Amino acid sequence: MLVEIVNLLSEAEVAQCRGVLQSSSWVDGRATAGQQAAQSKFNLQLPVGSPQALELGDIILRALGRNPTFNSAAMPLHVLPPMFNRYDVGMKFGAHVDGAIRAIPGAGRRMRCDVSTTVFLSPPEEYDGGELVIEDTYGLHEVKLAAGCAVVYPSSSLHRVNEITRGSRWGAFFWTQSMVKEDERRALLYDLDLAIMAIRTKLPDDDPSVLALTGVYHNLLRQWVEM
């Protein structure tokens, strides 16, 4: 399931993020890649755990908390602190699948990565190339969104970032362990949640159809959620 989130960040939040990134020092992005992915990863990143990364990460985490689309699509149990990357001319990230397990910073334990999220922080007119290309059972999807928008997709999917041919692409990325680990079940629950919200705009909450659909949704959660 691939879900685009429009305006995850406000214009003010995007401006704040870009201001911090503009004055930050960057390091080789391969520092946070696995052995195989590092061979095809050519970008820059903010140092993990740096004051700038923590400040901007808090902005994104607060935005996620207030965004119903992210919470419905990802059904988050744990969310890793966001990281921030930069692709300049000639940089790219070849096809790869995100690692399944990552350590939770400062927690002394690890989590499963079910859902990947990319937040775009550069307006698309500022750069050429840099599309996030995601492959799923329905083919290839090229994603290049406005600054402040995000895309949520399964961490199990093969994906890449096309080479930048002009300008610079800045963004944030992070992983989520979902309460429902199977993408197919998350997609079903997301579609059902959208249907319930749509029917509630036309019928009262105590209508039998609304009650029945809501009951099905929660009973599926009872079967599939892992805490």
Q: What is the CATH number of the domain that holds 134?
A: 2.60.120.620
Report yes or no: 73 and 1 within 8 Å, Cβ to Cβ.
yes
Global pTM?
0.94
CA distances in angstroms from 72 to 34, 98, 128, listed in the order given: 29, 22, 32
Tokens of 82: 């966001």
Taking residues 150-179, report their average pLDDT.
98
At residue 222, the 3 state secondary structure works out as helix
Residue 148 and residue 217 in one domain = no
Task: Domain of residue 204: give its range.
Answer: 183-224
pLDDT(153) > 80: yes
Instruction: State mean pLDDT over 71-86.
Output: 97
Structural tokens at position 161: 């970032």
Share of the chain above pLDDT 70, in %: 97
C-alpha neighbours within 13 Å on the C-beta side of residue 42: 11
pLDDT of residue 158: 96
Q: In this structure, are 27 and 113 located in the same domain? A: yes
Among 164, 162, 85, 163, residue whose Cα is nearest residue 117: 85
Q: What is the pLDDT of residues 21-54, one digit of tens each?
A: 999 999 998 877 666 666 789 999 999 999 999 9
Q: What is the pLDDT of residue 141?
A: 96
Confidence of residue 160 (pLDDT cuts 50, 70, 90): very high
Q: In terms of domains, do 92 and 187 share one?
A: no
